[in-house]
Structure 1
Amino acid sequence: MKNEMLRNLFKEESYYSIKFSEIAGRYVTNSSLEIVRKRFKNNFKIHESGKSVQGKSIYSFKIGSGKIKILAWSQMHGNESTTTKAVFDLLNSFKLNSEDEVISNILENCSLCIIPILNPDGAEAYTRVNAKLIDLNRDLQDLSQPESRLLKDIYNEFKPDFCLNLHDQRTIFSAGNNSRPATLSFLTPSKDEERTIDKYRKRSMSLIAGMTADLNEYLPGAIGRYDDGFNINCAGDTFQNLSTPTVLFEAGHFPDDYEREETRKHIYRAIISCLHQISKGKLEYSDYEEYFQIPENEKLFSDIIIRRALINGEVKDISIQFKEVLKNNKINFLPIISKVATQISNYGHKEIDAEKNETKLLDNSEIIENVIVNKIVINNEELEVK
């Protein structure tokens, strides 16, 4: 760990003492946020900053009294809620751990503006896009949507020294070319087509290098980084282009954690690490090159792979990917066959060896791509896919 001061906060018992456990799972909406607002109404400045397309409130939380200004926003994509849960944990930590040296330094040296749910319509519908079917993270130049305009207006008014852009990523990503899923991924967005590395990008690279050093012992081989191809329509690229050091957080898959409660814990730790580095006022920019030692994400995972399945006399592998479906205010994971091939090189978060036994679907329908498969029959034995 780079910052030994963080070790106490990173202990399991320390995290579970502050975890905002009333809100869990993948479905996080403005109804969840109401619980949070009531809990912290006497602790932080909570402001209705604007409305969504459908008229839902978009709130910002103001925390801390320091000179260093940090703007953070989550659920820009409505179905990416893990970082929002980590933000709720962060707020609880600010309330309950205010005497801790790390937390008190953050609160004294920094002023945070946090938007927990930027896209409340998408959050309620559990969609990436907003109610107008626009990806808000591709709308920071056109500013065609009220949510995008709100974010840009807050940026212009608040004038942050740093931006934290909080997202989820799919289960398909590995941290480099290895068999560990990318539980956390980071990116310092490019500021131009040339991917220029100026002092502002170095600051965000240094932050990411520091977070990785602080979390490596908890997530060995499971921290990746994204390709930094430039897209000025994205929020991170827009703000980096305006010379504000920006860090993209991506909450990914932890083994057997489809509700992303373990990942939530690691995102919380990453945010604490990031804020701790910023609060010290001096970043070790000389270590920015360590950012490039973080393995780049690759798409090497499937949710389930059935190996050596005998299908119509041929031995093949079957890859299954979950589709997240909202039903009765709960996210269900619908298993869909994504690939059938002689050999699939991907890793599976779950792997089943059919041992060259006859494999078929329960209704004897053909095993082909895009078919839903809740149960599969191997050697006349029914197996639950999930």
Structure 2
Amino acid sequence: MQPFNLDYSTIKEKTVTGRYVTNAEVDKFLNLHSKEFKIEEIGFSVLQKKIKMVTIGSGPKKILMWSQMHGNESTTTKAVLDLLNYLKEPSDLAKTILKECTLKIIPILNPDGAAAYTRINANEVDLNRDAHDRSQPESKVLRTVYDAFEPDFCFNLHDQRTIFNVGNDQKPATISFLSPAHDQERSISKTRGISMQLIAAMNSLIQKLIPGQVGRYDDSFNHNCVGDAFQMLGTPTILFEAGHFEDDYKREHTRMYIFYAMLKGVETIAKSEIEQYPQHMYLEIPENSKLFYDILIKNVDQVVPHLPKNSDLGILYKEVLESNTIKFMPFVDKTGDLGDYFGHKTYNCLEENDAEIVKSNKKLMNSIR
């Protein structure tokens, strides 16, 4: 299936790939297309790195997007560049979007965190817990743009860890969505309901591409979270969480699905089709669970005899920045009976071939010992 009759490879921004995405890569893209978009410097980070914003379209329906609020969450930044590539090329849908909508997109809100590949900013503050206090320059930049633009919709773009599955199924949450709460009771206001309907529209497409791999993120209320704060201010806000797809640790497949979801969302807004998607379609999306390990080793005592009999190991990867490359270093998160968990890769050491694979993997064995 090719949504929107589109060959994705023709609009994918191939100069920006992998997990390590910084101002340097994005600036090259923006400089190359400076005549096609309106590009503004809207402020500076703690370490005085520039924060830039792209404006495209001239329509009355206003959409604000921001990515890499957490510096090590870059998948949606890549998808945003793909979306810009799509919108600058002639097509009936692109023309409709640009006529009906004005999009303001901040590709990297936290450039210091992006450069250091950390969730937090240079003052060690999580910007997604700073919406109320606005103690950080990056938080002030976002709120200044929000207040001046007065968006009709907000897309809050993030990555999530590989631990998430959908419901109780052995399927990764490749994309998770959330219509953030606006009060402690998590009631459904008019604007929160609109967010739910827009997510239902996006889910209706993504389910055709990756059935069963869309989850619903936890909606616990926190007034210091940006999505909750903007929902409280009466703006329908959607949280996107880019997750894991099989063997896709660089998140190039996930990036494509995020692009399709964003395009479907913007199309639905542009064509005023939100009412076609009732709220119950959002509530029917299964909630995320945290039942995945990057590697699950069953009966590991067969290769590491000092461990208790019938022991399982749940191994996760720590993402480490080395020489501008992200390396995935295994570490043991949990030992014991892990019969209720899943592995993106699973080895059962009662099987001779699996036992040999585990024993021959030096990084894996070092993490176990």
TM bracket (short chain): over 0.9
What's the counterpart of residue 230 of structure 1? 221
Distance 2:297 2:212 in 1: 25
What CA distance in whole angstroms lies between the structure 1 residues aligned with 2:116 and 2:320?
Answer: 10
Q: Does residue 374 in structure 1 map to residue 363 in structure 2?
A: yes
The letter for the 2-side match of 1:347 is F
Give the 5 Å matches for 1:94-133: 94-96=87-89, 98=90, 100-133=91-124
Kindly report which structure 2 residues correspond to 1:356-367, keeping only aligned pairs within 5 A, or say none: none
Distance in 2 separating the partners of 1:299 and 1:354 = 24
Aligned equivalent of 2:279 = 288
Would you say the 8 A contact 1:205–1:291 is kept in 2? yes
TM-score, normalised to structure 2, is 0.94
Residue 138, structure 1, aligned to residue 129, structure 2: yes
In structure 2, what residue type is equivalent to 1:200?
T
Aligned ranges 1:315-326 → 2 under 5 Å: 315-326=310-321
- Unmatched 5+ stretches in structure 2: none
Query: Residues 317, 68 of structure 1: CA spacing in aligned structure 2 closer, same or farther, 3 A cutoff?
Result: same
Establish whether residue 25 from structure 1 lines up as the match of residue 18 from structure 2.
yes
Q: Does 1:250 align with 2:241?
A: yes
1:165 to 151, 156, 170: 156
Matched, 1:65 2:58: yes
Contact 2:330 2:364 (8 Å CA) reproduced: no
Name 1:334's counterpart in structure 2.
Answer: 329
Q: Distance in 1 between matches of 2:95 and 2:8?
A: 17
CA displacement at 1:195 relative to structure 2: 1.3
* TM-score of the pair, normalised by structure 1: 0.90
Tell me the equivalent position of 1:35: 28
The structure carrying a bigger strand percent of its residues is 1
CA distance in 1, matches of 2:104, 2:362: 44
Query: Could you tell me how far apart the structure 2 residues matched to 1:45 and 1:343 are?
Result: 52
Cα distance in structure 2, aligned partners of 1:281 and 1:150: 30
TM-superposed CA distance for 1:316, in Å, is 1.4
2:43 to 40, 50, 55: 50
The residue identity in structure 1 corresponding to 2:328 is F
Once the two structures are superposed, what CA deviation does each residue of 1:323-372 show, in whole Å capped at 9, x if it has no partner?
00000000000000111214442100001121177899979xxxxxxxx9
Secondary structure in structure 1 of the residue aligned to 2:195 = helix
Tell which deviates more after alignment, 209-218 or 51-60: 209-218
2:172 alignment partner in structure 1: 181
Question: Does the residue aligned with 1:217 lie in a helix, a strand or coil?
Answer: helix
In the alignment, what sits opposite 2:70?
77
Q: C-alpha offsets along residues 69-102 of structure 1, whole Å, 9 cap, x if unaligned? A: 0000000000000000000111111122x3x222
Cα distance in 1 for residues equivalent to 2:359 and 2:4: 51
Residue pair 1:360, 1:376 contacting (<8 A) in 2 also? no
Q: Is the 8 A contact 1:192 1:241 kept in 2?
A: yes
Flag the 1:373–1:341 CA change in 2: closer, same or farther, 3 A. Answer: farther
- Conserved in 2, the CA contact under 8 Å of 1:202 and 1:285? no
Query: What SS class does the counterpart of residue 274 from structure 2 fall into?
Result: coil
2:36 and 2:293 map into 1 onto residues whose CA distance is 43
**Segment of structure 1 superposing worse, 36-45 or 149-158:** 36-45
* Secondary structure, aligned partner of 1:85: helix
Which letter does structure 2 place at the counterpart of 1:69?
K
Amino acid at match of 1:101: D
- Provide the rounded CA distance (Å) in 2 between the counterparts of 1:80 and 1:35: 19
Q: Percent identity?
A: 49
Paired with 1:343 and 1:33, the residues of 2 have a C-alpha distance of: 42
When the two chains are superposed, the root-mean-square deviation of aligned CA atoms in Å is 2.2
Between the aligned partners of 2:359 and 2:275, the Cα distance in structure 1 is 59
**Counterpart secondary structure, 1:284:** helix
Decide whether aligned partners of structure 1 residues 197 and 375 sit closer, same or farther in structure 2, where only a CA change above 3 A counts. Answer: closer
CA distance in 2, matches of 1:109, 1:355: 60
Pairwise CA distance, 1:306: 1.1
What is the number of equivalent residue pairs in this alignment? 362
Question: 1:337–1:373: 8 Å Cα contact kept in structure 2?
Answer: no
Deviates more, 1:281-290 or 1:182-191: 281-290
User: Which structure's residues are more often helix, by fraction?
Assistant: 2
Matches within 5 A, 1:273-312: 273-284=264-275, 287-309=278-300, 310=302, 311-312=305-306
Question: Which runs of 4 or more aligned residues in structure 1 lie more than 6 Å from their structure 2 counterparts after TM superposition?
Answer: 356-363
Consecutive unaligned residues of structure 1, counting only runs of 5 or more, are 364-371, 378-383
